[in-house]
Amino acid sequence: MKLFAATVAAAMAQGFKRSSEQIEESFVIVPEGYGGSFEGFNATQVVLENAEDDLFREFEDEFYAVDVDVMSRSQFTEEEKKMIRKFKLIKNMIVYLQQIKLFGKFCFYGCYCFAKGPRNLLVPGGNSAPMDGADSACKRHLQCNECSKMDFGETCSATDPYNFVAKQDDVTGIAWIQCIDEEGSCGRALCECDKALAYDLSDAEREWNILHHAKWGNFDLDMNCVRVGGGGSERGERFNEPSAPECCGQYPRRYPYRADDGYGNIKQCCVSDTGYGKSYNPMRLECCGSGSLKGIGSCDE
């Protein structure tokens, strides 16, 4: 078994463009445009723990081509560069909070965790229910970014940089991240989306399942991530055109919904004291003062 593992590791290493030493030497913690720092970020530890992670190395080589190697930058469009830089920062946020700093475990994972790779960072792998808690976190991240575009319009791109601080508690060693742009701004919203993903994946670290990984566990997006049934034809004819999407909840738990789907299903948004939003049918439920949903006329009970 040890010989087999060594053989696999050697075969993987032959495909890598740069050595671990070269990756560590050029490792960027905060990419261009972003304002912030990661206190105590140990690049040596991250590179060491990812020594046999093919996805980590592939992405580091791609990021190197975008941000470090002047000769290769022209291969990428400006939007691709911004997307890869955003992915780099999210990656570093994620590993900063993880116990096991293995980057590739949440790439190409489930239906929503970077299912289409770093150049298609905010493209889901399907429209089905998430596979597990980690996949649910990634779906929330996509929804959060979608709402930032709806809330702030063309002046706010999901790849716009922002400002943050990331530190470690002097006593416990527990790491934390804080967004520092002005509340209600595009940058603050984008940061809150990314920060929440890092925290949620940290919480879901123990439930990671290799069977949900497209690269390491042969997870099939087409088979698992396409919702079957439930289309409009099964619900009859539309009464009217669906309303434009709007968003419910506060960042980072903000997500899009339709107040009228065109089939007679009407929804409203109820936001809890903690900022969580939930859409509901106002013909059956009402939103109470605390943000809880109860039957009509039951809020005072």
Which of 53, 141, 181, 212 does the annotation list as catalytic? Answer: 141
Specify the DSSP class assigned to residue 104. Answer: G
Cα 75 from Cα 29, distance rounded (Å): 23
Q: What values do phi and psi take at 203, rounded to 5?
A: -65, -30
b/e burial code for range 119-144 (CB count within 10 A of at least 16 → b): eebbebbbebebbbbbbbbbbbbbbb
**Is residue 194 among the annotated active site residues?**
yes
Mark whether 141 is an active-site residue.
Answer: yes
* Torsion, Cα of 156, 113, 268, 242 (10° steps): 80
- Write out the H or E segment, with its range, that includes residue 67: helix 54-67
Q: Which of 135, 194, 200, 212 is catalytic?
A: 194
DSSP 38: B
- Give the catalytic positions in this structure: 141, 194
